[in-house]
Amino acid sequence: MSPLTRRAFLAAGTAGAVSLLLGACAGDRTASVTALPGPRRDPGFVPDTELVLHAVPDTATILPDTATPVWRIVGEVVEGDPQALTEISGSYLGPTLRLRRGERVRITFRNELSEESILHWHGLDVPADMDGHPRFAIGTGEEFVYEYEVANRAGTYWYHPHPHRRTGPQVYAGMAGLLIVTDDEEQALGLPTGEFDLPLVIQDRSFDPAGELRYLDGGMMGAMMGFLGDRVLVNGRLDARIPVAAAPHRLRLLNGSNSRIYKLAWDSGEPVTVIGTDGGLLAQPVERPYVTLAPAERLDLWVDWSKAPIGAEMRLISLPFRAGGLTSDRFDVLTFQVDRQGPAGSGLTERLSDPGFDAPADADRTRRVELRFAGGTWTLNGRSFEMTAVADDEGVPRGSLEIWEFVNPGRGGMGMGGGMARLPHPMHMHGESFQVVERIVDDGARADWETLADGFVDEGWKDTVLVMPGETVRVLRRFETDGLFLYHCHNLEHEDMGMMRNFEVV
Ligand code: C2O
Ligand code: CU
Ligand code: CU
Model confidence at 32, pLDDT cuts 50, 70, 90, reads: very low
Q: Which residue, by CA, sits nearest to atom 1 of ligand 1?
A: 122
- The better pLDDT of the pair 8, 161 is held by 161
Q: What angle do CA 209, 87, 129 make, to 5 degrees?
A: 100
Q: Facing residues of 241 across strands?
A: 335
Per-residue pLDDT reduced to its tens digit, 407-443? 999 764 444 444 566 999 999 999 999 999 999 999 9
Q: DSSP letters along 4-66, please?
A: P-------S---S----SGGGGGGGTTPPPP----SPPPTT---SEEEEEEEEEEEEE-STT-
Measured from the CA of 464, which atom of ligand 1 is nearest? 1
% of the chain exceeding 90 in pLDDT: 85
What is the largest distance, in Å, between two alpha-carbon atoms of the chain? 62
Closest CA to 208 of 199, 217, 200: 217
Mean pLDDT of 155-177: 98
- The better pLDDT of the pair 6, 366 is held by 366
pLDDT at 420: 61
Q: Do domains 33-187 and 195-205+232-341 have the same CATH topology?
A: yes
Alpha carbons 232 and 346: distance in angstroms, whole number: 33
* 184 membership: H or E segment, kind and range: helix 184-187
pLDDT at 411: 64
Q: How far is the CA of 161 from the centre of ligand 1 (A)?
A: 8
Alpha carbons 487 and 466: distance in angstroms, whole number: 13
Class of domain 195-205+232-341: mainly beta
Measured from the CA of 123, which atom of ligand 1 is nearest? 1
Q: Is 473 within 8 Å of 436 (Cβ atoms)? A: yes
Mean pLDDT of 442-449: 96
Instruction: Report CA dihedral (228, 230, 234, 235) to the nearest 10 degrees.
Output: -70
Q: Facing residues of 290 across strands?
A: none
Q: Is 281 within 8 Å of 126 (Cβ atoms)? A: no
Ligand 1 contact, 486 CB (< 6 A): yes
Burial pattern 364-391, b for ≥16 Cβ within 10 A else e, equals eeeeebebbbeeeebbbbebbbeeeeee
pLDDT at 40: 52
**Over 80: is that where the pLDDT of 29 sits?**
no
Class of domain 360-505: mainly beta
Mean pLDDT of 20-42: 42
**Over 60: is that where the pLDDT of 490 sits?**
yes
Alpha carbons 290 and 264: distance in angstroms, whole number: 5
Instruction: Specify the 3-state DSSP secondary structure of 167.
Output: helix
Q: Please tell me the number of the ligand nearest to residue 279's CA.
A: 2
Instruction: Specify the 3-state DSSP secondary structure of 444.
Output: helix
The overall average pLDDT reported for the chain is 91
pLDDT at 92: 98
Q: Which residue, by CA, sits nearest to atom 3 of ligand 1?
A: 122
Q: How far is the CA of 408 from the centre of ligand 3 (A)?
A: 10
Class of domain 33-187: mainly beta
Q: Which residues are in the CB-under-5-Å shell of ion ligand 3?
A: 425, 489, 491, 494
Q: How far is the CA of 481 from the centre of ligand 2 (A)?
A: 14
Mean pLDDT of 442-462: 97
Per-residue pLDDT reduced to its tens digit, 61-113? 999 999 999 999 999 999 999 999 999 988 999 999 999 999 999 999 999 99
Q: Is 391 within 8 Å of 382 (Cβ atoms)? A: no
Residue 174 amino acid letter: G
Ligand 1 contact, 430 CB (< 6 A): yes
pLDDT at 23: 36
Q: DSSP letters along 315-381, please?
A: EEEE--EEETTEEE--EEEEEEEEEEE-PPP----S------PPPGGG-SEEEEEEEEEETTEEEET
Q: What is the 3-state secondary structure (H, E, C) of 287-331?
A: EECCEEECCCCEEEEEEECCCCCCCCEEEEEECCEEECCEEECCE
Alpha carbons 468 and 371: distance in angstroms, whole number: 10
Alpha carbons 138 and 389: distance in angstroms, whole number: 20
Q: How far is the CA of 325 from the centre of ligand 2 (A)?
A: 26
**Reported pTM:** 0.92
pLDDT at 117: 98
Q: How far is the CA of 382 from the centre of ligand 2 (A)?
A: 22
Mean pLDDT of 457-481: 98
Closest CA to 97 of 168, 141, 160, 44: 160
Per-residue pLDDT reduced to its tens digit, 127-142? 999 999 999 999 999 9
Q: Please tell me the number of the ligand nearest to residue 491's CA.
A: 3
Ligand 1 contact, 133 CB (< 6 A): no
**What is the DSSP-derived secondary structure letter of residue 165?**
T
Alpha carbons 458 and 456: distance in angstroms, whole number: 6
pLDDT at 30: 33
Rg (CA), the chain: 22
pLDDT at 10: 27
**Over 60: is that where the pLDDT of 285 sits?**
yes
Domain map (residue ranges) of the chain = 33-187, 195-205+232-341, 360-505
By mean pLDDT, which of 42-46, 297-301, 455-459 is the weakest? 42-46
Q: How far is the CA of 212 from the centre of ligand 3 (A)?
A: 26
Measured from the CA of 158, which atom of ligand 1 is nearest? 1
**What is the DSSP-derived secondary structure letter of residue 114?**
S
**What is the DSSP-derived secondary structure letter of residue 152?**
S
Q: Is 216 within 8 Å of 256 (Cβ atoms)? A: no
DSSP H helical ranges for 91-174: 167-172
